[in-house]
Structure 1
Amino acid sequence: MSKASNRGDKPSSKKPERNYEVGYAKPPAERKFKPGRSGNPAGRPRGSKNRIKDSDLTSIVLGEAQRSIKINDGGRSIKLSVGRAVVRAICINALKGNVHAQRRATELMHAAQREQDRIERENLSEFMEYKI
């Protein structure tokens, strides 16, 4: 027995031959996907996965790091950026004796010192070039 489709089509007058019983996970032959055809022809095109470009990811990370949040500090609420709050939490955990936090805090301090020295050398060389 052929049923009318949901689109309001009339049932076909010809009854297709069925080699098997129609039931759960066994659709009628006329309703099966045709070989080589997608079940969702208007779906997502191949190769267009939900990927974030590196430049987009960088801007997302920097945007989150600069976002302002409220934290409790000694019974009062203060506003800090997320990046500053993370560095603060690492330093507090380092002071409490967390070895991993101590190592990370030391790495952050060395990296910050190297960057500051690089900027000072760059500024000094620009000043010297200007002076000459």
Structure 2
Amino acid sequence: MSDKGYNVGYGRPPRETQFQKGQSGNPKGRPRKKGTVELDLDQVLDQRVRVQSPGGSKSMDTREAALRMQVAKALKGNIHAAKHVLKQFEKYDAITPPRSKIQTGVVIAPRASFKKPERDS
């Protein structure tokens, strides 16, 4: 014991190894937050990439590659991918939704006169 009345033990380190007054326990401190990176989305989507396909590798822009991947997922049964693909097709007028064959309005049916069937007794 270096100081009288101070017991070294769990949660009570020796005084000489404790932080000195005015000295931080983390001298470098928390790292500074990195600034936002400005990203040109059109530049990224127009970037050319090589894609492997059954017929060999092809070069296409990122936008086309992403759409082809979504179409492939939709054909495998992924309903979310199918919705996304259909929305993209509608957005760029690649397809038009089918017109409804059901016309709305009021239908007036002629009143029928029903006769009670005669019973054979």
Which ranges of structure 2 fall in alignment gaps of 5 or more residues? 94-121
Question: Runs of 4+ in structure 1 displaced over 6 angstroms?
Answer: none
Equivalent-residue separation in structure 1 for 2:21 and 2:46 (angstroms): 53
Q: Distance in 2 between matches of 1:28 and 1:42?
A: 24
Q: 2 CA distance for matches of 1:102 and 1:74?
A: 22
CA offset digits 1:73-111 (Å, max 9, x no partner): 223111223332111111222234432211000111223
CA distance in 2, matches of 1:26, 1:63: 59
Aligned to 2:74: 94
Task: Work out the number of aligned pairs and report it.
Answer: 92
SS in 2 for 1:58: coil
Gapped regions of structure 1 (runs ≥ 5): 2-15, 114-132
From the superposition, tell whether residues 33 and 67 of structure 1 become closer, same or farther in structure 2 (CA, over 3 Å).
farther
One-letter code of the match for 1:58? L
Residue 49, structure 1, aligned to residue 33, structure 2:
yes
- Distance in 1, matches of 2:9 and 2:76, equals 68
2:92 is paired with a residue whose SS is helix
Q: Distance in 1 between matches of 2:83 and 2:47?
A: 26
> Once superposed, what is the RMSD of the aligned Cα atoms?
3.3
Taking structure 2 as the reference length, what is the TM-score of the superposition?
0.53
TM-score by length of 1: 0.50
